[in-house]
Amino acid sequence: MPRPTTRLVRSARSAVKVLASATVAVAVLAGCSKALDPLSVGLDSDHPGLAVRRTNVTVGFDADVALALADRLGYGQGRSLGVLYVSEADLGASWRSNRLDFAVALTPMTPANAKVSQLIGPYLSGGQTLAVRADDPRSRAITGPQSLAGRPVCVAGGASTMQEGAATHLPSSRIVVRSTVSTCLTMLLEGTVDAVTDERLVLEGYGTVAPYAGKLRVLEPTFTTLDYGLALPKDQPDLCRRLTRALQGFVADGEWADAYRRAFVYPGLVDKVPAAPKVTGCS
């Protein structure tokens, strides 16, 4: 099966630089080999603080993690990487089409996702919450899911776990599904919906960038707790073992804390670096 080979190189530690435009057809390799050359990594493209695409680079915590793991797998300076922009809902199709080696794309470590992918982690922990308009008097009384009975709440369509969380915790709300979190947030600012639900770190990240900066209020506490893991195909036990060791080393060496501090603490998304994750995976 063909695998796209969109070429990437490293720019800064916190950016993955794209050499081939997403609007241009990319070269493909024939066959079904999982030779990892070039290494193909899945990232989100619209999660500020985690992974956001800016012209020809992808920046954020997930990009940092992907680059660090690639280094530890032997894909350091001078080696090509490939990137595909994926969502939680895309992973099964990515494995079946042999397009991707692994993903650092905020994949919740849930039983449903474990049926589709091997999961290693957590590399990050968080939880689902709500964002409302900061300057709207009608939003001041919104303190959590219980305040939104009968009101429209938007969730991104590619985030299966977030949709399940919305159905469970917002059963009396009118759930509106759109393609991306940014589309939902635009609808929020326009007044089309009264809240957006997603991972807290994602919503806090959007609150730091235009046109959303200063216009969002992200609610505390979260109404779910989620661990996020690396995802890879189930038929790759050797890669699973190598990635487990790579992620464990990334955490143990202090690189994880440094990346977390750059992505979330310095921009003001969170107050401090939490305890390092206890990584489990393939032995």
- The domains of the chain are located at 3-125+228-265, 128-218
* Third-level CATH fold of 3-125+228-265: D-Maltodextrin-Binding Protein; domain 2 (3.40.190)
Q: What is the pLDDT at residue 28?
A: 25
Q: Which of 107, 112, 111, 102 is nearest to 122 (CA)?
A: 107
3-state SS assignment for residue 263: helix
Contact call for residues 142 and 219 (beta carbons, < 8 A): yes
- Residue closest to 36 by CA, chosen among 73, 72, 71, 67: 73
Judge if pTM exceeds 0.85.
Answer: yes
pLDDT number for residue 152: 98
Stretches where the chain sits below pLDDT 50 are 1-14, 17-35
- Going from the C-alpha of 95 to that of each of 11, 41, 100, 106, the distances in angstroms are 28, 12, 6, 17
Helix (H, G, I), strand (E, B) or coil at 12: coil
Cβ atoms of 39 and 81 within 8 Å: the answer is yes
Would you call 155 helix, strand, or coil by DSSP? strand
What pLDDT score was predicted for residue 213?
96
Share of residues in the chain with pLDDT > 70 (%): 85
Please determine whether the domains at 3-125+228-265 and 128-218 fall in the same fold group of CATH.
yes
3-state helix, strand, coil in the chain (%, to 5): 30, 30, 40
Per-residue pLDDT at 279 = 97
Q: What is the pLDDT of residue 229?
A: 97
The CATH class, in words, for 128-218 is alpha beta
Contacts of 170 (CB under 8 A, 6+ apart): 145, 148, 153, 197
